[in-house]
Amino acid sequence: MGYKFATKAIHAGQHADPTTGAVMTPIYQTSTYQQAAPGDHKGYEYSRGTNPTRKALEDCLAALENGKYGLAFSSGMAATETVLKLLRPGDEVITGDDLYGGSYRIFTKVFEHYGIKFHFVNTSKPEQISKKINSNTRLIWIETPTNPTLKLADIAIIGGIAKAAGVLFAVDNTFASPYLQNPLDMGADIVMHSVTKYIGGHSDVVMGALVVNDKELYDELFFYYNACGGTPGPQDSFLVLRGIKTLHLRMKAHCENGRRVAEYLKSHRKIAKIYWPGLEDHEGHDVAKKQMRDFGGMVSIVLKDATLQDTFKVVSSFRVFTLAESLGGVESLINHPATMTHGSIPKEAREKVGVVDNLIRISVGVEDIDDLLVDLEQALA
């Protein structure tokens, strides 16, 4: 579809209901579908595999990522797991050393047991990826910007490396959302989302998604999606379709508030280090400028000379920001990666990539910026 982002966010995959004319996609709360004779049906047989509400969402997600095929899953991890099921014992994966904690966990604690080898490198240095490629390499999996230190990986360069080596290239696009960046346009084969975050946007649904362009790859992923069954129900699919209608409005506000928070915090006396891709001196700022349309609402900070106890005191003293896991909702959240989202990563491995005890991750919401800045000031005082 040739429409622009905001139009697709509101309309893609959706049509007035043929029976009633309902403008909003109905919640097809059904597990099964009538067949006139065996095999004579309208394309829907059983809701683990296909459901009209989910289908509308999948088509919308595909359109937003400029892809042909979308698949929705019951969580981001179920989406990730489905990609990993393409692998066989002996296959190798090259991935980032600064990943979402749950991705690190599923790689090392689940799929290593099935004979798959993972190499963890700094993906902001593409040559580190090239060096690990061998005849067993089957997949390159990256996040950009990374969680929580917002490192940038050059999608087009890594896409070129993947193509030359004939390996699959998947990008976890959760932090950017399709509003800020479309990896399929830059050489990725698979885009993965934790829909739970910006796409859903209201902290009321856990869901994941994959978007691809290649029909054969889609068919293979669809096989595992249906065979293993990590698919979401129609109610959650509806909530996400509803959330997506304001994705562009929310993202614009997240980016604006993110900028204001980053600019306020960068010279704050209590802060030793700040990570936000929009800052000129952020490592990877040039890559962010090249491949993202704006810089997002995720900001991480390292407190100056703060112990774990000092840090706990700060993260527990907010009034507008809520101390909680997750990100990307309309409400501002504070997170302590070392003990919360990244608690499953060994201390040494996480500290190597900057996830220190005095690091705080902020998901800047879309409340009034003045209230957010006052809250930051009092919590850091």
Ligand X SMILES: *Cc1c(COP(=O)(O)O)cnc(C)c1O
Binding positions for ligand X, rule: CB under 6 A: 75-77, 100, 102-103, 143, 147, 172, 174-175, 194, 196-197, 206, 208
Minimum Å gap between C-beta 360 and ligand X is 16
Nearer to ligand X (CB atom), residue 98 or residue 357: 98
* Shorter beta-carbon distance to ligand X: residue 76 or 277: 76
Kindly give, in sequence order, each residue whose CB lies less than 8 Å from that of residue 26, ignoring residues fewer than 6 positions away.
Answer: 17, 20, 52, 53
Q: How far is the CB of 337 from ligand X (least distance, A)?
A: 11
Q: Is position 198 annotated as part of the catalytic site?
A: no
Residue 133 or 149 having the CB closest to ligand X: 149
Instruction: State the minimum distance, in angstroms, from the CB of residue 227 to ligand X.
Output: 20
Name which of 123 and 375 has its Cβ closer to ligand X: 123
Q: Which of 48, 68, 266, 352 is catalytic?
A: 48
For residues 285 and 42, the answer to whether their CB atoms sit within 8 Å is no
Shortest spacing between CB 79 and ligand X, in angstroms = 8
Is position 3 annotated as part of the catalytic site? no
The nearer residue to ligand X, 175 or 238, going by C-beta atoms, is 175
Of 59, 154, 172, 236, which residue is the catalytic one? 172
197 flagged as catalytic: yes
Provide, rounded to whole angstroms, the least separation between the CB of residue 47 and ligand X: 20
Q: Which of 55, 151, 197, 350 is catalytic?
A: 197
100 is catalytic: yes
| Residue whose CB is less far from ligand X, 82 or 147 | 147
What's the min distance (Å) between Cβ of 163 and ligand X? 24
| Residues acting as catalytic residues | 48, 100, 172, 197
